[in-house]
Amino acid sequence: MFMPTQAIAPTLRAYGATIGERVRFRSPLVFHNSESEHGRYYENLAVGDDCYFGRELFLDLQDKITIEDQVTISHRVMILTHTDAGTSPLKDKFIPTAQAPVVIRRGAYIGANVTILQGVEIGEESIVGAGAVVTRSVAPATVVVGVPARVSVVS
């Protein structure tokens, strides 16, 4: 969870992640569902070149997370690749278990405290405003804000 910035990318690579060049992760990081029987704990994580990740990032690796080149992800962002209501009686009727990958395309900017849900693709050079909850994919070169995230009208 806590380690020097320069040690994070090499450690992730050593345990199965694909991490590009000049990638900076700030600790602490939290990984969920990164268990593996064969030691490739982070194989569902692929990050391109020249990316930045702020503090308190939460990555759910139940399914694949792909982050392309030149992406900035601010502090306290949560990327979820599955929903599972566990033992709740609501599980089967109202909250079905779901799993799907998340893709963040080249040049995107994700603001602080954003939550991105499973199956979402953030388009190239898009902006997700701070505090947004992204429940649907975002088109390229689009600004979204709010809960749930919606296209922002730019004046």
| Residue 57: predicted pLDDT | 96
* Residue ranges of the chain with per-residue pLDDT less than 70: 1-2, 37, 153-155
Q: Is residue 121 classed as helix, strand or coil in its secondary structure? A: strand
Instruction: State the pLDDT at residue 3.
Output: 76
- Whole-angstrom distance, CA of residue 22 vs CA of residue 146: 31
- Collapsing DSSP to helix, strand or coil, 13 comes out as helix
Own/partner pairs, 37-41, CB within 8 angstroms, 24+ separation: 39/15, 40/15, 40/16, 41/15, 41/16
Residues in the chain: 155
pTM for the predicted model, two decimal places: 0.92
